[in-house]
Amino acid sequence: MSELLPFEEALDAIENMQSVQVNEETIELKSALGRIVSQDIVADAFVPPNDNSAMDGYALRFSDWSPGKVLKISQRVPAGCAPTPLEEGTCARIFTGANIPEGADTVVMQEETKRHEDGVSFLDSLQAGGNIRPKGQDIQRGQVIVKKGTKISPMHIGLLSSLGMTSLSAFSRLNVGILTTGDELIAPGNTLAEGQIFNSNGPMLEALVTQAGYCVSQHLHAKDSPEETETAISTLLACSDVILSSGGVSVGEEDHVKAILEKMGDVHLWKIAIKPGKPLVHATLGTTPFLGLPGNPSSTLVTYHWFARRLLARCAGQENIFDLSYPVDAGFSRTKTIKRDEFLRVSISEDGLAYAHPQQSSGALMAACESQGYLHIKAHTSIEYGCSYAFYPFSGF
Ligand X SMILES: Nc1nc2c(c(=O)[nH]1)N[C@H]1C(S)=C(S)[C@@H](COP(=O)(O)OP(=O)(O)OC[C@H]3O[C@@H](n4cnc5c(N)ncnc54)[C@H](O)[C@@H]3O)O[C@H]1N2
Binding mask 331-370 for ligand MOO (x = CB under 6 A): -------------------------------x--------
CB of 300 to ligand X, least distance (A): 7
Is 294 a binder of ligand MOO (CB under 6 A)? yes
CB of 199 to ligand X, least distance (A): 4
Rg from Cα positions in the chain: 30
Is 199 a binder of ligand MOO (CB under 6 A)? no
Closest CA relative to residue 376, chosen from 339, 334, 348, 346: 346
Cross-strand pairs, 389: 328
Q: What per-residue string of b and e applies to 47-71 under the rule 16 or more CB within 10 Å gives b?
A: bbeebbbebbbbbbbeebbeeeeeb
Is 245 a binder of ligand MOO (CB under 6 A)? no
Q: Which letter does DSSP use for residue 308 in this model?
A: I
Please state the φ and ψ torsions of residue 129, each to the nearest 5 degrees.
80, 5
**For residues 152 and 367, which CB has a smaller minimum distance to ligand MOO in the complex?**
367
CA distance 142 to 43: 5
With CB under 6 A as the contact rule, the residue among 83, 101, 213, 248 that binds ligand X is 248
Phi-psi sector, 75: left (phi>0), alpha (psi -120 to 50), beta = beta
Is 305 a binder of ligand MOO (CB under 6 A)? no
Stretch that binds ligand X, among 103-111, 200-208, 226-234, 389-397 (CB under 6 A): 200-208
The number of residues that bind ligand X (CB under 6 A) is 28
Question: Cα 389–298–152 angle (5° rounding)?
Answer: 75
Is 296 a binder of ligand MOO (CB under 6 A)? yes
Fill in the amino acid letter for 18.
Answer: Q
Binding mask 285-304 for ligand X (x = CB under 6 A): ---------xxxx-x-----
Is 201 a binder of ligand X (CB under 6 A)? yes
Overall residue count recorded for the chain in this entry? 397
Site for ligand X in 152-181 (CB under 6 A): 180-181
Is 99 a binder of ligand MOO (CB under 6 A)? no
Residue 197 interacts, among ligand X, ligand MOO, none and using kind-specific CB cut-offs from 5 to 8 Å, with ligand X
Is residue 213 within 8 Å of residue 273, measured between CB atoms? no
Is 272 a binder of ligand X (CB under 6 A)? no
CA distance 146 to 161: 12
Binding stretches for ligand MOO (CB under 6 A):
275-278, 294, 296, 299, 362
